[in-house]
Amino acid sequence: MHRLLLLGTGGIASHHVEEFAALPECSFVACADPVPGRAQAFAAKHGIPHYFESLEAAIAWGAFDAACNATPDGVHMETTLALLAAGKHVFCEKPLAPSYPDAMRMVEAAEAAGLINMVNLTYRNSPALQKARAMVEAGDIGDLRHCSADYLQSWLVGKQWGDWRADDKWLWRLSKAHGSTGVLGDVGVHILDFATYCAGETMASLYADLAVFPKAVGDRIGDYDLDANDSVVITGRMQSGALATVTATRFATGRANDLILTLSGTKGAVRVETDGQTSKLTACLGADVDTSQWQVIETPAVKRNARRFADALHSGVNGDPSFRRAAEIQKLIDAAFASGSTGRPLPIKPVD
């Protein structure tokens, strides 16, 4: 039995409980949260036997093998490093760290200690994405010529997820001072992984344009300065020379939570569409290329991230997406921020 600590009991925590509850060899034996009373309430609700009001107390107790780090983005690094120093395997929420150098500190600490390290890039759970990657690897679309990837949300113009103006769980995502890196850091990490993982290659250079739009009088609500980016458009070159366009926005009116990826090559194309719950794969191949016809491709079930983490704990062989993979994506995010601030395209050096 793999004994798990749930670190952080906010909105995403219940998702982790649900995912790991499906795995009989895993059990949450404790949860920890520094907000007084929150860990106790979460433990009671979910039948978790132990709770702590600090990570230090949980580590001192120590009767767990691995941790799911569901803390806010800004403390992923310090909490993960503490867990690794205590010899604990870590399944961390995205983004791994606020910058590439910080992400590499985490990579190096985990790899030096020989500990299992994975990042919960949830859209890897998409059967359509996994099947599309296999088709690209098999050469079904030929040589890649164009990649188009979009992450479309509309919670800044609609209330399908609640009213962001009155809810801290959304407001903090709009404020740099509260640890937000905007839509680029929040969901850009997903669409950049989505695109480059499916293509089987990363970007060699990019240019990014980031926008912050007026959302309230004085661009402030209560303690929150609304200064984190709301939309980003990235154009670039893949390593193969293919052109790429990547967008992410919270102003995609009429789109609740949609990811759309099209990879076009010299022999055909594949398109992946998902809302995080269901996914669809279509392809234009063979004779269909001449008539621009798209066919639905059947997609077999795939292992979910929690399952891959449990398998890695059992085998001792690290799973994917790893900390190193997340650092590679963070390098792209850092370059996008730098490009956005300078107004110039930037080359991407290979991950160390």
Domain 123-307+330-347 CATH (choose: 3.40.605.10, 3.20.20.100, 3.10.20.90, 3.30.360.10)? 3.30.360.10
Q: Can you give the pLDDT of all 352 residues of the chain as single tens digits?
A: 999 999 999 889 999 999 999 999 999 999 999 999 999 999 999 999 999 999 999 999 999 999 999 998 889 999 999 999 999 999 999 999 989 999 999 999 999 999 999 999 999 999 999 999 999 999 999 999 999 999 999 999 999 889 999 988 899 899 999 888 999 998 999 999 999 999 999 999 999 999 999 999 999 999 999 999 999 999 999 999 999 999 999 999 999 999 999 999 999 999 999 998 899 999 999 999 999 999 999 999 999 999 999 999 999 999 999 999 999 999 999 999 999 998 887 888 776 5
Domain map of the chain by residue range? Answer: 2-122+314-320, 123-307+330-347
Query: Please, is 210 exposed, middle or buried when counting C-beta atoms within 10 Å of its C-beta (0-12, 13-18, 19+)?
Result: buried
Report the top-level CATH class of 2-122+314-320: alpha beta
Strands (DSSP E) contained in 75-229 are 89-92, 117-119, 144-153, 203-211, 220-221, 224-225
Output the CA angle 289-199-106, nearest 5 degrees. Answer: 170
Structure token pair of residue 245: 């366009």
**Residue 330 in tokens:** 């963070």
